[in-house]
Amino acid sequence: MTVLLEQLADPDEEGWMRIERQILREWAQSGSATIDYLFQRGQTALQAGQATEAIDHFSAVIDYDPAFAEAWNGRATAYFLANRMGQSLADIEQVLRLNPHHFGALAGLAMILESLERPEDALAAYEASLAVNPHQQSVIDAVARLALASAGQAL
């Protein structure tokens, strides 16, 4: 995994999409068929916009395996969609404790901080996400937007 993360962190890496998919695939594997099934149900609910159902499935996964960072990340996303920011932040904290290289959780943290009108903290989280994966266009755009806004405030 370390080699893949090092390759992904290279802004000139041409095969970054394949590497990113491989990392995400590895992060999504728990090693248990039961947990993987519950996790997939949570992912399906999340993709269907069913935040409450997703929260229930991811919570079940966390009950079975509290060290499975992707379940915390899925539930954080579901909490975000349900506008439950405090719970989302708490789950992101768990994701980053278990997987400090989780660029998606860092970007999610930044989005929440930005929505809470904490632009400096949001910018730091976006930049931390880009340090792991510099190929995230939405994060690049967010950094540029926040940098422009802060430059405007300085004037």
The ranges assigned to domains in the chain are 31-84
Please identify which residue in the block is written with the tokens 């439950």: 84
DSSP 31: S
Contact in structure between 43 and 74 (CB atoms under 8 Å):
yes
94-105 per-position pLDDT tens digit: 999 999 999 999
CA torsion sign for 110, 7, 22, 100 is negative
Quote the CA–CA distance of 27 and 20 in Å, as a whole number: 11
Please give the pLDDT value at position 153. Answer: 60
Q: Tell me the H-state helices in the chain.
A: 2-8, 16-27, 33-47, 51-64, 69-81, 85-98, 103-115, 119-132, 137-154
CA–centroid distance for 132 within its chain:
12
Long-range contacts of 15-18 (CB under 8 A, 24+ apart): 16/133, 16/135, 17/135
Quote the CA–CA distance of 18 and 20 in Å, as a whole number: 5
CATH 1.25.40 fits 31-84, yes or no: yes
Among the listed residues 107, 101, 100, 48, the one whose alpha carbon sits nearest the alpha carbon of residue 76: 107
2-44 per-position pLDDT tens digit: 999 999 999 999 999 999 999 999 999 999 999 999 999 999 9
pLDDT at 91 over 80: yes
- Mean pLDDT on 133-142: 97
Question: What is the reported pTM?
Answer: 0.92
